[in-house]
Structure 1
Amino acid sequence: MKQKLLEFKLHIILVISLLCLGSVIYGLTQQAASATGEKFVIVVKPGMGANAIGNLLYEQGAIKNVFLFQMISKMQGMESSLQAGEYVLNQNMTIQQIVSILAKGETAYQQITIPEGYTVDQIAKLLQEKQLGSAANFKKAAQNFVPYTYMVNNNPNVVYKAEGYMFPNTYRISKGTSETEILSMMTVQFDKQFTENMRVRANEMNLSIKEIIILASLVEKEAQLPADRPIIAGVFLNRLKLEMPLQSCATIQYILGYPKAELSVQDTEISSPYNTYQHMGLPPGPIANPGIAAIKAVLYPEKTDYIYFVADKKGAHHFSKTYDEHLVAIEQVSK
């Protein structure tokens, strides 16, 4: 009798196991919801476990059975590796596909921050490092990308016409976004940030948007302290009025393609239209993509008689009205 009872219990366990296995197989092979193929977004918050995520998916209509979702997650060893993020799912997806996407962290968007003062080359490198695009394709697209008339620059020495107008910001980029679309996102943001009041102010200064951005890019690369920005902008504007060369070290570094702490005399003699030691006026185009603070510094510069500046070892600039004062400042910061 006991033997028969034991056999009966084993039979029940086997049936239940087969039913569970059958359910799991069904979940692995069948569609998660209706066959409409509709796309929708779910947000998995940090700390959510398989049960909470399963309930979320069920409420969104992504799956029909929370238990199956938990079972498959556990069987695949992914129960504790489902990652937080924002996901685009399709109602045609199987539970197995959904589990795999959540475990791999294949989010709908990837966040990327473009620092103030980054050049096209630096942005291209960053995008490739983040696996959001090809650096080569991005740079190629930036060469002639001019969606706004103020970006048009017919100077043949300008390598990237988009340089200066790719607004430094944090962007959410979805997978599959093209390099040109990313450029468009950044230039659209610039157009929004460069407000109508700023455009009016530029006109009052008798400067084009292009000239404002060229100057802002110089200020962005020269200034290390926020308080120095409007003073440096004032120095550059004073030099332009006095028809003095701008002599910006930042333009030499742009030519070199990397930041150099101390420039040599030979560096300042490099043959390039961007060499503001050798050529009067503004360089052909922006040397970086300035942030809003640098742009505002140019639009509202400090009114001074300074025409020289030099940075000390801590990054603070010392300003002078005469060349003799400048020489003394250089000697002081060199100590």
Structure 2
Amino acid sequence: MPSPSNLRSHLLRTVILILAAAAGVILFLPGLNTAPESTRLQIHRGTPFSTIVRDLETNGAITVRWPLKVIGRLVPSLHNIKPGRYLIPPGLSNIGLLQYLHRHDQDEVRVTIPEGLDISATAAIISRHLDIDSTSFAREATKRKLEGYLFPGTYNFPWASTPGEAQEFLLRQFHRFFSDSLRSVAEGKGLDENALLTLASIVEAETPLDEEKPLVASVYLNRLRKNMPLQADPTIQYAIPGPRRRLYYKDLRTDSPYNTYLHRGLPPGPICSPGAQSILAVLNPAETSYLYFVATGKGGHNFSTTLSAHNRNIRRYRANRDRR
């Protein structure tokens, strides 16, 4: 007959085996605590592990939280879950679910940044597509003086990008475009990077038509050579706080270094992010003697060399506007 100590030892081993088997079931049995269908989850940057587990329960990915909390205590490395958007496969085991979240690569989002947007408008687009607050993006980009450098285009961004990561990506796109050969052309024309982008941003804001951009660039370059004020309406728009609106004559007296009616030469910096065609137009402008241009009212512009011809074009524009 077994001694009492042997019975206790046997009972203890039995209990340990039962607990080990139960733990193995809890850890590794597929579908025990997880949903039988796919579920979605968004994890924002900096979300604590406990909150992630709670959200998994809230969205139906798991039935109860405690098995994941136990696993998290036993395997602390599984706390390291990347921010992102997840489509969680059905029927995972508890440990399989945490391993999936731990190993999952960040998903990417395709985002188009149109030409001619300032920092605020770019921030609004970024925040609509990525896990980024527009105010934080705009504040950081303004502090870094990135107006004009957030190069337009269509790109893939990780959804969980930080403002700094998104800005660095767009900045790299500009430097990739602005090659050494283009930099040499700009330097040959006496334009540093800031001056080039500033003038290109005005061209971008004046016309969406690529075929017109070399003509618009020629007007402003001609005015600069003659020491005439640029008198570019988009710079007034930039100087006035708030969303774009119709300009009035009183706006031309706005006290701002960006007011190119009051101050000769280029404003301090870009007023938006110019696209490739506007930059190339400044580097390769049309050879003209134009000093003025005005909208036709039909999508393009009429260009002129003299003020009298310009005034005739203005009257023609107003007549077209009135007929509409």
Structure 1: stretches of 5+ with no match in the other structure? 1-21, 32-49, 51-75, 77-85, 101-105, 146-160
1:86-165 mapped onto 2 (5 Å cutoff)? 108-145=107-144, 161-165=145-149
Q: Which stretch shows the higher mean deviation, 291-300 or 126-135?
A: 126-135
The alpha carbon displacement at 1:139 in A equals: 1.6
For 1:253 and 1:93, the matched residues in 2 are separated by: 57
Specify the SS of the correspondent of 1:334: helix
Aligned amino acid, residue 277 of structure 1: Y
**Structure 1 residue aligned with 2:174, among 185, 190, 214?**
190
**Map of 2:30 onto structure 1:** 27
- CA distance in 1 between counterparts of 2:309 and 2:216 reads 16
Q: CA RMSD in A?
A: 3.6
Q: Matches of 1:197 and 1:252 in 2, distance apart?
A: 33
Distance 2:292 2:154 in 1: 35
Alignment of 1:158-177 (within 5 A): 161-177=145-161
3-state SS in 2 of match to 1:133: coil
Q: Secondary structure at the match of 1:283?
A: coil
Distance 2:304 2:94 in 1: 68
CA displacement at 1:288 relative to structure 2: 0.2
Q: Give the structure 2 partner of residue 14 of structure 1.
A: none
Rate the CA distance shift 1:93–1:246 in 2: closer, same or farther, 3 A. Answer: farther
Tell whether the 8 Å contact from 2:150 to 2:174 is kept in structure 1 after alignment. yes
Quote the Cα distance in structure 1 between the aligned partners of 2:261 and 2:30. Answer: 70
Please give the per-residue CA displacement for 1:170-219, whole angstroms capped at 9, x wherever unaligned: 22222332101111101011100111111010011011111110000000
Q: Distance in 1 between matches of 2:32 and 2:137?
A: 40
Q: Choose which of 259, 280, 298 in structure 1 pairs with 2:264.
A: 280
Shift of 1:315: 2.1
Contact 1:231 1:302 in 2 (8 A): yes
Q: Deviations over 1:230-287 (max 9, x none)?
A: 0000000000000000000111111234333x42111111111111111111011100
Of 211, 219, 243, 1:258 maps to 243
| Amino acid in the other structure paired with 1:125 | A
Aligned counterparts of 1:289 and 1:89: Cα–Cα separation in 2? 39
Q: Using the alignment, how far apart are the partners of 1:170 and 1:92 within structure 2?
A: 39
Alpha-carbon distance in structure 2 between the residues aligned to 1:301 and 1:93: 64
Question: TM-score, normalising length from structure 2?
Answer: 0.68
Amino acid at match of 1:128: S
Count, aligned residues = 247
- The answer to whether the 8 Å contact 1:252/1:274 transfers is yes
Distance 1:118 1:92 in 2: 48
Deviations 1:27-48 (A, max 9, x none): 22489xxxxxxxxxxxxxxxxx
CA distance in 2, matches of 1:26, 1:226: 62
TM-score, normalised to structure 1, is: 0.65
Task: Tell me, in whole angstroms, the C-alpha distance in 2 between the residues paired with 1:286 and 1:232.
Answer: 16
- The 8 Å contact of residues 30 and 94 in structure 1, kept in 2 or not, is answered as no
Q: What is the distance in 2 between the residues matched to 1:241 and 1:126?
A: 37
The answer (yes or no) to whether the contact 1:116–1:168 under 8 Å persists in 2 is yes
Are residues 1:249 and 2:205 paired? Answer: no
Distance 1:92 1:322, change over 3 A: farther
Aligned residue in 2 for 1:315? 299
Look up the SS of the partner of 2:29 in the other structure: helix
Between the aligned residues of both structures, percent identity stands at: 35
Q: Which runs of 5+ in 2 are unaligned?
A: 1-24, 38-62, 64-84, 320-324
